[in-house]
Amino acid sequence: MPSVDVELVIPVHNERVVLATNVARVHAFLSEQAAFTWSIVIAENASSDGTPAIADGIAEQLTSVRVTHLVEPGRGRALRDAWLASDAAVVAYMDVDLSTDLEGFPRLVEPLLSGQTDVAIGSRLVPGATTVRGPKREFISRAYNAVLHTTLRTGFADAQCGFKALRSDVARQLLPYVVDDGWFFDTELLVLAERLGLRVREVPVTWVDDPDSRVRILPTARADLRGVVRMLRERPWREVALTLPSSSERIAK
């Protein structure tokens, strides 16, 4: 039996300024939920600004919170490590800046818990979403997703929103085939899921840009485009053999 219904991972790298306040906000929000049981994992990866000690202190103070420490940086690496170690029914993550409104979290995980979908992702680019961000980031986001639609024939609208969840059995089978350890991790995971016929549901979210975001836009965009080229060249979905329930009904494109 799963230890909890949902395990939420918050990957952090040099986030000492906002870590304690924002994890406390998430903890308080989840404590008011009665529809599912939960735990929080702070996935600290190679921080050098005091974040590790702060994370350990939070876990000592708040129930249902634990910390993992990695010696190498990378959001994808942190998520892979935490998700593969989880025994929850559903694994999820959100960015520590809480740009995505927490009210969207129950809508993200409920379709997974009820068996209606395999993967659920927050989206800033579907009807019903509310997004507040500058024109530069808006343009880059839409351009990147347009590239995905054109080259990898993706059907989802928003690959990069830091607000995602999936069934744990799906995670355990897909993650060994996800190569990227950084920001392209999300895209690679979603492309594999979609190509293998898994059900991907987009949930409209309210999202407000964090002016202190640590994401370096142009280097990240270049790395993402290199990831797209790699997937086009290698077509990794051809190597994946799913053994999920009713997987015989799922046909890779």
CA-nearest of 157, 95, 109 to 129 is 157
3-state SS class at 23: helix
Known catalytic membership, residue 87: no
Helix (DSSP H) and strand (DSSP E) numbers for the chain: 8, 9
Q: Which of 158, 181, 186, 224 is catalytic?
A: 186
Q: Which residues contact 99 (CB under 8 A, 6 or more apart)?
A: 162, 207, 208, 209, 210, 213
Question: What are the residue ranges of helices labelled H in 71-134?
Answer: 75-85, 105-113
Which residues are annotated as catalytic?
186
